[in-house]
Amino acid sequence: MDKIEHIGIAVKNLEKSNQLFASLLGTAPYKIEEVALEGVKTSFFKTDSKKIELLEATNPESAIAKFITKKGEGIHHIAFAVDDIYSEIKRLQKEGFTVLNEVPKKGADNKLVVFLHPKSTNGVLIELCQEIN
């Protein structure tokens, strides 16, 4: 697990932040997607080989809304690409990491995702993601 897939940034207003990051990066988001189950609307930018994901809450109970209330806008998670998410979950649990959802969920950008609790990773929310074929 050594390949960063994307960095997720929590934002208050996706439309405004899309414009900001489009002028910052010189490219428009290639995808805008709502993940209703997570209460989040996302956009993705390609930068070199990695991606930037912007996340706006679509309801006040979502994890992104709570994050922004607590910490404000900013870097929310780092996502690593994995080939076998199920074996990585087992490996990381054995290493003592707290997996937030033991059953991978369908996330944005056609991925199966799980998150590690920041309390077990020095305060950084870590996402594992595997492309759905």
- x/- mask, Zn ion, residues 11-50, rule CB under 5 A, reads ----------------------------------------
Nearest partner of 111 among 87, 85, 75, 76, judged by Cα: 85
Q: Is 8 in the site for Zn ion (CB under 5 A)?
A: yes
Output phi, psi for 62, to 5 deg: -75, 160
Nearer to Zn ion by Cβ, of 97 and 105: the residue is 105
**How far apart are CB 42 and Zn ion at their closest, in Å?**
7
Nearer to Zn ion by Cβ, of 27 and 129: the residue is 129
**How far apart are CB 128 and Zn ion at their closest, in Å?**
10
48: left (phi over 0), alpha (psi -120 to 50) or beta: left
Q: Are 82 and 131 in contact (CB under 8 A)?
A: no
Please name the helix (run of DSSP H) or strand (run of DSSP E) that holds residue 14, with its range, or none.
helix 14-25
Number of chain positions touching Zn ion (CB under 5 A): 4
Radius of gyration from C-alpha coordinates of the chain:
14
Binding to Zn ion (CB under 5 A) within 55-84 occurs at: 79
- x/- mask, Zn ion, residues 79-98, rule CB under 5 A, reads x-------------------
The whole-angstrom separation of Cα 85 and Cα 71 is 29
Nearer to Zn ion by Cβ, of 28 and 33: the residue is 33
The whole-angstrom separation of Cα 93 and Cα 124 is 17
Interface residues with Zn ion (CB under 5 A)?
8, 53, 79, 127
